[in-house]
Amino acid sequence: MFDKLQAVEDRYDRLNELLSDPDIVSDSTKLRDYSKEQSAIAETVEVYREYKNAQTQYKEAKEMLDDKLDPDMREMVKEEIGELEDQLEDLESRLKILLVPKDPNDDKNVIMEIRGAAGGDEAALFAGDLYRMYSRFAEAHNWKTDVIEAHSTGLGGYKEIIFIINGNGAYSKLKYENGAHRVQRVPETESGGRIHTSTATVAVLPEAEEVEVDIHEKDIRVDTFASSGPGGQSVNTTMSAVRLTHIPTGVVVSCQDEKSQIKNKEKAMKVLRARVYDMFRQEAQAEYDANRKSAVGTGDRSERIRTYNFPQNRVTDHRIGLTIQKLDQILEGKLDEVIDALVIEDQSKKLESVEE
């Protein structure tokens, strides 16, 4: 572990030199990348230096005990050694956590796609519940939600809804929502009071910057059409809706939420860039099966990750075996208890690899 920490400190010092180099300062891309890298490891270096300083004090205090000290002074040194041992233990624990590999996407905005799956109208209604849950969660964290595309059923549900959540660290929290969500409840249309099971899928993508994925205009086919409402009726006689097709990958994105064709294209490009970036990211991660298995919920979207049981006001996250009798609160956006548990489990598994 300490070899890794020394390498991090050496890299930090090297970055300091690079950021003072006139050639780097004049190159905005390199300056941004090196500054970002330095910022990411600054806390680790600070704690590591604090650890080395405490370790030096500890050795000096231990050496003092070998000298001829009067009883009072000897007692003071022993007390200092005990305090330094506690400090070193605490700093070592912090360093282990800081060495846990960080997801480079954690600070990014999120593009979420929710779709009603098995269950027809009931699945669409549940998709609407999930959208409102995430919107309220975002609002509680002072993040902004912006709808890209929505296909509503007219009953308060959605066959599909795609939206962006803008906020620092949004992906670090919401990436664990990736997967199939199951609901168990009695539909309003069910006269016999029978419990039905329906599902909705949630896809969570980090918003990609232009510099992270190379998409050329020549590789995009742009189609425009009149936007439509529930049932397919035309609600806009102008050709404001936009459909983008990324020819090399076959990724297709449409947006009709805005009245302006330009704004719809801008929104669609954000989703297109995120999907293409995610496709490449998933392919790269597939080469590291062990790492993917250690993650807690950022993998297969067909995986059933959570069940929402209305009759018992219960939510169960199947990945970590967590059950909470607070369904009503969770649907109001109070997801922190669940997400914090997932973060802790994820970090614990990654910490095992650091300690090996």
In this structure, are strands 144-152 and 158-166 parallel, antiparallel, or unpaired? antiparallel
DSSP 206-271: EPPPTTTS---GGGEEEEEE--B-GGG-B--SS--EEEEEETTTTEEEEE-SSSSHHHHHHHHHHH
Smallest CA-to-CA distance from 272 within 255, 290, 289, 291 is with: 255
Of the CA atoms within 13 Å of residue 30, those in its CB half-sphere come to: 11
pLDDT of residue 229: 55
Range scoring the smallest mean pLDDT among 151-155, 285-289, 291-295, 314-318: 291-295
pLDDT of residue 234: 46
Most confident of 160-169, 226-235, 301-310: 160-169
pLDDT of 127 over the 60 cut: yes
Give percent above pLDDT 90 in the chain: 34
- Residues 207-229: tens digit of each pLDDT: 887 556 677 888 888 888 876 65
Tell me how far apart the alpha carbons of residues 202 and 249 are, in angstroms, rounded to a whole number. Answer: 21
- The reply to whether CATH 3.40.50.2300 applies to domain 217-284 is no
Tell me how far apart the alpha carbons of residues 79 and 82 are, in angstroms, rounded to a whole number. Answer: 5
3-class DSSP assignment, residue 355: helix
pLDDT of residue 57: 92
Domain ranges of the chain: 2-98, 110-211+296-351, 217-284
Provide the whole-model pTM: 0.66
| Assigned CATH class of 110-211+296-351 | alpha beta
The reply to whether 110-211+296-351 and 217-284 are identical in fold is no
